[in-house]
Amino acid sequence: MKHRPYGRRLTFLFAAMTLGLASGLVATEALFRFLEWKQKSVDRLEGSIAAIDRDERWGWKIPQGEGYQRTAEFEARWSVNSLHMNDEAFVPGEDTHKTRILALGDSKTSATGISMPDTWPKQLQNQLNRTSKKFRVYNAGTGGYSLQQYLLRLKDQGPLLKPDYVVLGFCFASDLYDLLPPGKGGWVFFENLDRDYFDFDEDGTLVHQQWRFEPPKPPATAMAAAVTEVRKDYW
């Protein structure tokens, strides 16, 4: 019986393994491409939540109006009132006889993936009103907001709403992730939007400051630098 040389068998085995690995990678890539296509074919984003409104003080806010979002994971409808809250309509003076609660937070509060009546501020309101209709919870959560913007919103809308209590929906994703002001790391979310913020001065006092974004200037080319230098020498 004639046996194949060891080298040829090793080469054949290596080729077979390479071909199998390549086939597996191609099949995996095809599978993921199909799943990605399938997910994108389901995704929908309509209405006011498809964009943001710039705000020179807060940075951004949710545009007023109705919105709808659907993905492979959830389906949700938004209803943003005149105070830019994913909440019931705001009618000035209507809630003066109620105990008013202002809920501050980010996308977990506003909330992404959940229809307006199912957000935790509205669920809190429903639970409190099980025996009497004496409570009103305002959902002031906005995606991407941090502690800086919570305080600004409280300062701006607090005098209008006059809340008896303020509840903070704390989330590590933004509350501790987007605190560093310009000069100490910059912003993480929408760093190109103007906004106000708070920082400590040299005496350790909390001060209110402003951030105005300026696009970086394009670097001068080597040719421009050389021309500048020649002109400088000439004159």
Element of type H or E holding 35 = helix 6-42
The 8-class DSSP code of residue 84 comes to S
The 8-class DSSP code of residue 24 comes to H
3-state secondary structure of 130: coil
Nearest to residue 148, comparing CAs of 59, 32, 53?
Answer: 59
Alpha-carbon distance 202 to 94, whole Å? 45
Q: What are phi and psi of 197, to 5 degrees?
A: -155, 180
Does residue 235 have a pLDDT over 50?
Answer: no
Highest average pLDDT, of 2-6, 19-23, 109-113, comes from 109-113
Which pLDDT value is given to residue 136?
Answer: 97
Question: Strands 165-169 and 99-105: what pairing?
Answer: parallel
Q: What is the mean pLDDT of the chain?
A: 82
Element of type H or E holding 110 = helix 107-110
Cis, bond preceding 111 (omega within 30 deg of 0) = yes
Whether the Cβ atoms of residue 213 and residue 193 lie closer than 8 Å to each other? yes
Alpha-carbon distance 113 to 143, whole Å? 12
Does residue 30 have a pLDDT over 50?
Answer: yes
Number of neighbours of residue 49 by Cβ within 10 angstroms: 22
Length of the chain: 235
Alpha-carbon distance 201 to 208, whole Å? 10
pLDDT tens-place string over residues 129-158 = 998 889 999 999 999 898 999 999 999 999
Mean pLDDT calculated for residue range 22-26: 72
Nearest to residue 197, comparing CAs of 178, 170, 177?
Answer: 178
Q: Which two tokens stand for residue 95?
A: 């809630």
Q: Which two tokens stand for residue 38?
A: 């399938």
Cis, bond preceding 16 (omega within 30 deg of 0) = no
pLDDT tens-place string over residues 172-198 = 766 777 777 777 777 888 888 999 998
